[in-house]
Structure 1
Amino acid sequence: MESAKHAGDAAVAVSKAYGVETMFTLSGGHVFPLYDGAQHEGMRILDVRHEQSAVFAAEATARLTRKPGLAVLTAGPGITNGVSGVATAHFNGSPVVVMGGRAPQSRWGSGALQEMDHPPLLTPITKLAFTSSGADSVGQDVEMAFRTAVAPHRGPVFLDFHMDHLFSPSPMHEPQTQSPSPLEPDPDSLRAIARLLAEAERPVLVYGSDVWMDRAEEAARDFAEAWRLPVIPNGQGRGILPAGHELLVTRARGQAFAQADLVIVMGTPLDFRLGYGWFGGKDGAPLAKVVHIADAPSHLATHMSPVASAAGDLSVVLWSLGDACGEAGVKPSRYADWLSTLADHAAAAVAGDAALLAADTDPIHPMRIYGELGKLLADDAVVIGDGGDFVSYAGKYVEPRRPGNWLDPGPYGCLGTGLGYAIAARLARPSSQVVLLLGDGAAGFSLMDVDTLVRHRLPVVMICGNNGIWGLEKHPMQLLYGYDVAAELQPQCRYDQVVTALGGGGELVTKPSEIGPALRRAFDSGIPYLVNIATDPQIAYPRNTTGV
């Protein structure tokens, strides 16, 4: 068997075999052999300014490319700094491998620099967290990490290496990267779901991120169109039906969930974003029947009992469910009145928003920003949300035209994902617009990584909705207590000047008429550019407590 100069070569060679093209990292001596291996194997190294951005970039790479992402973190604080990124990947089901440095085995227990047993810290938020047993096993251990990360239900894996093992010679390892056979759903479960559709009068179909991650977006669109089912997307399910599609009823979401008699949720958890799986019940009507479909049995809801459920490769599920619907006598015409009702609600919502999307108010209404941005977005634009109130508007008013082009932190709700996501998006989609939507609170978590964009020549348009407060906290505190604390930020803080100081471009916008021209300058600049827009702090995004 061919022997590598050191274990770093073996680790990187296996990573490349699993499709990894970029190693995201922040430099640390414990992992130097991994960098040397990247040099030998021709893998790109992209170094960031905070380890959380390295993990967020690896996670976004996995979500955009549907190949595993790789982050390499040095020992101790390098790994603890990346924990929020790992947790986000865990909740998003993102196949990420995080490799960590570790104090030398020969000095273990004697107080070496940054000596810490990392796996127990990472175990609750990974599919697997372990330490490589030695230089001879590095290749096999890395293969196990990647194989585990990409298996349904996908998720992050943590693997660390003792420093002395990583510097030692290691045999090269030839991984077995062929994909396993897709998980077949239970036919009886699909027949039960088809019967529910045959009986339903007001069904709703929810497509979540795992539909995209399972490469089932075409099957999902075909299924919805064949059976004329209204669709509400969630997460990276956005864009499976493009903006303007007649079956897309996002703008009638409240009415759809309140009046439905059957809700089929595919590829996303029944969490707070979907009212924990409780739908219907409006005006004395019974609760809707709920069907949950996931890519693996481990991801089916356990906090409630859906009337039916199924697990398997989501393309196979959709194809097979279509056959079952034909056998069950499902008639698309049965839903025509329901679809027309939802379309009317959606059209009314769009008409009602027109004035605010063009509002000429002073201070600026956040919706005006989205009115101007919508005029400039290309069909293949990648839009990234990192924030609270400001990004909530994006979830409502930015409707992707293609699947896989929307990124937000997901159900973990971790602020600070934005710069790491933007780095990854620019690499993954080099010819597309990349737009990062930042709340001013979120900007404080990761704006220093604009330096990374500048150093690596990664142009990104950043738009900061700057209302000078923690909006998700200030307004609720005032409602609860009549006052607020710890909810103020500096009004019109010059985040744009931070970007300029780091080598990018930017400007402050305070008038509605300035928004469109400033955005056009940002798109035309060819550099990392932040449009810092002062918005009205009195305006809160309207929301309820259930997530519906």
Structure 2
Amino acid sequence: MSIRGANLVIRSLARAGVERVFALSGNHIMSLFDACLDEGIEIIHVRHEAAAVHMADAVGRLTGKPAVALVTAGPGFANTLSAQYVTSMAESPLVLLSGAAPSTAPAGLGFQAMPQEQMAGHVSKASWAAQDIDRLGHDVARAFRLSQSGRPGPVYLSLPVNLLESETERNAGTLPVEDDFHPIMDLLDTQMARQCLALISSAERPLIITGPACCHSDGHELMGELTEKLGVPVVAMQSPRGINDPSLGAFAEVLSAADLLVLIGKKTDFTLKLARPPFVDSTCRIIQFAPEIGVLEQTNELLEQTGQFVLADVAGPRACLERLLQVGETSADQSDWLTEVQSAIGYRPDEWPSIDTATTSELHPVQVGRAINEFLQQEKDAIFVSDGGEFGQWMQACANTARCMINGPAGSIGGSLPMAIGAAIDSEETVLATLGDGTMGFHPAEFETAVRHNARVIAVVGNDSRWNSEHQIQLREYGEARTHSCNLSAVDYASVAASFGARGFQVNSIDELQAALHEANQTDGPSCIDVKIESVAAPIIRRA
């Protein structure tokens, strides 16, 4: 019996448990759209290819399993590159499939021919082009396996249109079996875990720091269990602002006081200031567990003259948490230090609760953040999605919820709305996104996608008519007299969203914001709340 290449791909997705794909149509992939009918796979048809990746990224972060984005060749594929980078830096499992020019065409001469796998190779975990119709299903299984193995991330598979539209004879080995999709586990050696715990016991001020991969799915629960079992602080870092991440309060102060760092999947990168003084003490010992030997070698090069790097092993981030939980407890009482770290992270300036701009038509971001946090606390299992920029940093500093997704170490903006929509589709939980007005310009048309798929998402837009992050750089670096070109028009984003079929709310006070949040939460489908805010710099929190 013969089977079309496109059906091999889609049937393999079904075997992986995929029920929907996030896609944007195009000539090269219409056979895949057609095959989805045969397998009952739903297509969430978006308005921009990057949005498809952001939506799949959100599902991957929430579930810990790769979701699928599907786009066409050439320009369609190229539109996904920045979103792939965001997903890669966030360490989120994802499979990106795209069409490609016929493999039979001379190099560069096919319609929309582009070196897609080479381009994706710079921003994804793995990237290749299918070569053989009989291996299409196994290519899909390999992509799923790699995306979850070691450090999670996006995997790209390029699908030449001639393979998708051709037929081949189906045999017993044509389709992958269940085990072909399973990740390869990089377990932490038990003896290495015991050595790590012994070093933690001998330290006075140990800190366990995880990278973005541990922030996904039930990672926060695992970190909480490890903190409780060991009695030492476990801190997740996933913000591009690193030690100045406002959601971590005065973390920078306790980081510089630590005498042992245990880095689980965490690189000694810019977010950790390369683990150099004065941000990390020159006598602080460092342990690192990472799934790539290259990451360990980089840390060794950074610290080889200092003697600080005392223990390392190749292991996956989640596997490390699980092994340390399994092996046992520490022998020292470090409760005072744990309390000190928790106090530093929980610290917010004393004046924040009293900030009030009731006499003006613009709210301070702290006021907005307080209202949003109060709303989230009332909603069980609410999902909070925050974009970057100055407004995003204020919201992250104010919102206290474990189910949180941010733009991640990539530092890109624009993904929050499609991420929230991806999280909200078929979800009973409240999904709330916060984004600035500059960010709102990236994907406003996805409100129409949310309307079409009845995704109940609340988007709160902090509107100061400005690219404020860059405006603040101009103020700091060059002075007020040289600020220019960062102002935006006064746009009513509630009306913009309403033009796509969403509910729109224009608010100018806390009472109006609270009422809008409540009403939006009772609305089927998406809502947009436009809040006029003061244009202020994001906080860098210190206690001194």
Q: When the two structures are superposed, what TM-score results if normalisation uses the length of structure 2?
A: 0.88
- Report the residue type matching 2:433 in the other structure: L
**Is residue 2:234 matched to residue 1:231?**
yes
- Report the residue type matching 1:388 in the other structure: G
CA distance in 1, matches of 2:310, 2:292: 18
**Is residue 2:475 matched to residue 1:472?**
no
Structure 2 equivalent of residue 439 of structure 1: 436
Q: Which of residues 387, 406, 409 in structure 2 aligns to 1:408?
A: 406
CA distance in 1, matches of 2:350, 2:465: 30
Q: Closer, same or farther in 2 for the Cα pair 1:463/1:523, shift >3 Å?
A: same
CA distance in 2, matches of 1:77, 1:35: 19
Deviation at 1:40, TM superposition (A): 0.5
Q: Which of residues 285, 289, 307 in structure 2 aligns to 1:289?
A: 285
CA distance in 2, matches of 1:318, 1:109: 47
TM superposition outliers: structure 1 runs of 4+ over 6 Å:
279-282
Structure 2 equivalent of residue 355 of structure 1: 354
Structure 1 equivalent of residue 310 of structure 2: 307
CA distance in 1, matches of 2:196, 2:272: 20
Q: Closer, same or farther in 2 for the Cα pair 1:375/1:324, shift >3 Å?
A: closer
Structure 1 equivalent of residue 396 of structure 2: 395
Q: Closer, same or farther in 2 for the Cα pair 1:320/1:56, shift >3 Å?
A: closer
TM-align CA RMSD = 2.7
Structure 2 equivalent of residue 341 of structure 1: 340
- Answer yes or no: is the 8 Å Cα contact 2:417–2:459 preserved in 1: no
CA distance in 1, matches of 2:121, 2:342: 46
Deviation at 1:69, TM superposition (A): 1.6
CA distance in 2, matches of 1:269, 1:171: 47
CA distance in 1, matches of 2:119, 2:5: 24
- Answer yes or no: is the 8 Å Cα contact 1:469–1:489 preserved in 2: yes
- Report the residue type matching 2:137 in the other structure: G
**Is residue 2:461 matched to residue 1:458?**
no
Deviation at 1:439, TM superposition (A): 0.9
Which piece of structure 1 moves more, 100-109 or 450-459? Answer: 100-109
CA distance in 1, matches of 2:103, 2:326: 57
- Answer yes or no: is the 8 Å Cα contact 1:56–1:85 preserved in 2: yes
Deviations 1:183-207 (A, max 9, x none): 2323453333223212211222323
**Is residue 2:478 matched to residue 1:497?**
no
CA distance in 2, matches of 1:180, 1:438: 34
Structure 1 equivalent of residue 385 of structure 2: 384
Deviations 1:32-82 (A, max 9, x none): 111111110011101111111011112222111211121111111100111
- Report the residue type matching 1:126 in the other structure: S
- Answer yes or no: is the 8 Å Cα contact 1:251–1:350 preserved in 2: no
- Answer yes or no: is the 8 Å Cα contact 1:261–1:289 preserved in 2: yes
CA distance in 1, matches of 2:421, 2:540: 31
Q: Closer, same or farther in 2 for the Cα pair 1:52/1:180, shift >3 Å?
A: closer
Deviation at 1:438, TM superposition (A): 0.8
Structure 2 equivalent of residue 67 of structure 1: 65
CA distance in 2, matches of 1:406, 1:458: 18
Deviations 1:302-361 (A, max 9, x none): 1434332333244543354356664xx622x2x2322343455566637543223x6536
CA distance in 2, matches of 1:297, 1:307: 15
Structure 1 equivalent of residue 25 of structure 2: 27
Q: Closer, same or farther in 2 for the Cα pair 1:354/1:456, shift >3 Å?
A: same
- Answer yes or no: is the 8 Å Cα contact 2:264–2:320 preserved in 1: no
CA distance in 1, matches of 2:414, 2:103: 34
**Is residue 2:258 matched to residue 1:260?**
yes
Which piece of structure 1 moves more, 103-112 or 146-155? Answer: 103-112
**Is residue 2:363 matched to residue 1:364?**
yes
Q: Which of residues 15, 25, 35 in structure 1 aligns to 2:13?
A: 15
- Report the residue type matching 2:364 in the other structure: H
CA distance in 1, matches of 2:125, 2:191: 30
CA distance in 2, matches of 1:270, 1:19: 36
CA distance in 1, matches of 2:108, 2:298: 45
CA distance in 2, matches of 1:413, 1:478: 20
Aligned 1:28-427 pairs, distance under 5 A: 28-109=26-107, 111-172=109-170, 173-178=174-179, 179=182, 182-213=185-216, 217-235=220-238, 250-278=248-276, 286-300=282-296, 302-303=298-299, 304-305=302-303, 306-314=309-317, 316-322=319-325, 326=329, 330-331=331-332, 333=333, 335-345=334-344, 349=348, 351-356=350-355, 360=358, 362=360, 363-377=362-376, 378-400=379-401, 402=402, 405-427=403-425
Q: Closer, same or farther in 2 for the Cα pair 1:24/1:83, shift >3 Å?
A: same
CA distance in 2, matches of 1:440, 1:44: 32
Deviations 1:134-175 (A, max 9, x none): 323322222222222222122222222222221111355331
Deviation at 1:365, TM superposition (A): 0.4
CA distance in 2, matches of 1:462, 1:8: 36
- Report the residue type matching 1:200 in the other structure: A
- Answer yes or no: is the 8 Å Cα contact 1:90–1:155 preserved in 2: yes
Unaligned stretches of 5+ residues in structure 1: 237-248
Q: When the two structures are superposed, what TM-score results if normalisation uses the length of structure 1?
A: 0.87
Instruction: Report % sequence identity.
Output: 26
CA distance in 2, matches of 1:92, 1:529: 27
- Answer yes or no: is the 8 Å Cα contact 1:297–1:312 preserved in 2: no
- Report the residue type matching 2:48 in the other structure: H
Deviation at 1:440, TM superposition (A): 0.9
